[in-house]
């Protein structure tokens, strides 16, 4: 008997401690609640609904014939030559823009990582294309730059031609090379983005190693190839992954510069989904195509998520330490 009392007291104390612990844990979760609910309602439920609609026969033009339980949207989407063209165009547009923007952006970051007069101004000028409203920038490219009669491109060609007494060619940029026209506009917008991330990577590099390499007689190229590039690798990967995810959503430039044309030459998935939903009024097909885009970007994102967290861990050592303590 006498032995059970301290055990009971101990158990009671432990239960009490557990209860307090649980209450503390609940209290710590409480601030999350409003934001979490909001995020789930606004960003998660629509995707669930999209999946649901993708299995529905639902065309606004046939309001009597709406029902659930069909795979036809997927077979239609996958067989549709427009949709196939859109998938191919999306890949070309994203890979082309991300690749070119990354190369130019890295070059600019390497330049900006050095001290020179007016570096701050150069950086400010270089990030500006990213800040211009995409619709405004697209209208600028279409009407002020590419316009075959009054655009800056042909105007400059003409001026140079006149200088030498020649007749300069005056190509129709948008209709003769629509994909190139869109990609140039995209590269112009996204190069600053690539540059900023790469520059952050360069500036996080400790100079000691670079200096040691120079002292050891390594050339500029060798230092870049064997020291800077390996350090930059994760930043470059991050820039690529984020670039792909953002550019998979490209809509403004296509809508404004080419309207997807001529034909389907520049129709990408977002634009085709928009047309399917709001011109063809086929919600089922649009949703099925949407699910395809989600699958595409989830593949990229799973990779990206891991990368982001690992980078966040290494650039924020203070946080990791604090978490480890608790």
CB of 201 to other proteins, least distance (A): 7
CA distance 165 to 198: 45
CA distance 86 to 37: 35
CB of 102 to other proteins, least distance (A): 14
Between residues 96 and 304, which has the closer beta carbon with respect to other proteins?
304
Contact between 166 and other proteins per CB under 8 A: no
CB of 6 to other proteins, least distance (A): 31
Contact between 257 and other proteins per CB under 8 A: no
Contact between 98 and other proteins per CB under 8 A: no
* Phi–psi pair at 293, nearest 5 degrees: -65, -40
CB of 16 to other proteins, least distance (A): 20
Residues 179-198 that bind other proteins (CB under 8 A): 188, 191-193, 196-197
Closest listed residue to residue 266, CA positions, set 132, 129, 146, 155: 146
CA distance 190 to 184: 10
Contact between 84 and other proteins per CB under 8 A: no
The CA-based angle 200-134-177, given to 5 degrees, is 100
Mapped to the 3 state alphabet, what secondary structure does 278-297 carry? Answer: HCCCEHHHHHHHHHHHHHHH
Contact between 23 and other proteins per CB under 8 A: no
CA distance 86 to 91: 9
Q: Please state at what angle helix 317-325 crosses helix 283-315, rounded to 10 degrees.
A: 90
Between residues 99 and 155, which has the closer beta carbon with respect to other proteins?
155
Tell me the window of 6-14, 74-82, 175-183, 266-274 that interacts with other proteins (CB under 8 A).
266-274
CA 122 to chain centre: 25
Between residues 179 and 300, which has the closer beta carbon with respect to other proteins?
300
Contact between 262 and other proteins per CB under 8 A: no
Tell me the window of 11-19, 63-71, 94-102, 315-323 that interacts with other proteins (CB under 8 A).
315-323
Write out the DSSP string of 154-204: HHHHHHHHHHTT-------HHHHSHHHHHHHHHHHHHHHHHHHHHHHHHHT
62, 72, 143, 225: which one binds other proteins (CB under 8 A): 143
91, 92, 139, 236: which one binds other proteins (CB under 8 A): 139
Between residues 4 and 325, which has the closer beta carbon with respect to other proteins?
325
Between residues 36 and 78, which has the closer beta carbon with respect to other proteins?
36
CA distance 245 to 248: 5
Q: Site size for other proteins, by CB under 8 A?
A: 120
Between residues 10 and 310, which has the closer beta carbon with respect to other proteins?
310
CA 218 to chain centre: 36
Contact between 94 and other proteins per CB under 8 A: no
CA distance 322 to 318: 6
Tell me the window of 1-9, 76-84, 95-103, 244-252 that interacts with other proteins (CB under 8 A).
244-252
Site string for other proteins, 41-80 (x = CB under 8 A): xxxxxxx-xx--x---------------------------
């Amino acid at each position: 008997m006498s032995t059970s009392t301290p055990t009971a007291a101990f158990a009671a104390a432990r239960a009490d401690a557990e209860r307090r612990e649980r209450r503390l844990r609940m209290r710590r979760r409480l601030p999350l609640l409003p934001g979490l609910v909001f995020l789930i309602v606004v960003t998660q439920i629509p995707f669930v609904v999209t999946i649901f609609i993708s299995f529905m026969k639902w065309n606004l033009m046939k309001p009597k014939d709406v029902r659930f339980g069909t795979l036809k949207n997927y077979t239609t989407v996958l067989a549709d030559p427009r949709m196939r063209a859109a998938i191919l165009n999306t890949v070309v547009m994203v890979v082309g823009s991300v690749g070119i923007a990354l190369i130019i952006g890295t070059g600019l970051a390497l330049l900006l990582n050095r001290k020179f007069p007016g570096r701050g101004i150069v950086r400010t000028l270089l990030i500006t294309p990213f800040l211009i409203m995409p619709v405004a920038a697209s209208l600028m490219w279409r009407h002020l730059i590419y316009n075959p009669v009054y655009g800056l491109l042909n105007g400059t060609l003409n001026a140079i031609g006149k200088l030498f007494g020649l007749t300069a060619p005056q190509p129709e940029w948008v209709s003769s090379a629509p994909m190139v026209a869109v990609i140039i506009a995209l590269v112009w917008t996204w190069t600053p983005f690539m540059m900023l991330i790469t520059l952050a990577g360069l500036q996080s590099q400790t100079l000691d190693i670079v200096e040691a390499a120079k002292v050891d007689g390594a050339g500029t190229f060798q230092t870049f190839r064997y020291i800077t590039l390996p350090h930059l690798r994760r930043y470059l990967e991050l820039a690529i992954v984020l670039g792909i995810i953002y550019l998979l959503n490209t809509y403004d430039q296509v809508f404004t510069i080419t309207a997807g044309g001529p034909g389907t030459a520049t129709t990408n998935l977002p634009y085709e989904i928009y047309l399917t939903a709001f011109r063809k009024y086929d919600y089922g097909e649009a949703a099925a195509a949407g699910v395809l885009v989600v699958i595409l970007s989830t593949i990229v994102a799973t990779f990206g998520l891991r990368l982001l967290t690992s980078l966040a861990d290494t650039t924020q050592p203070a946080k990791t330490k604090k978490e480890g303590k608790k």
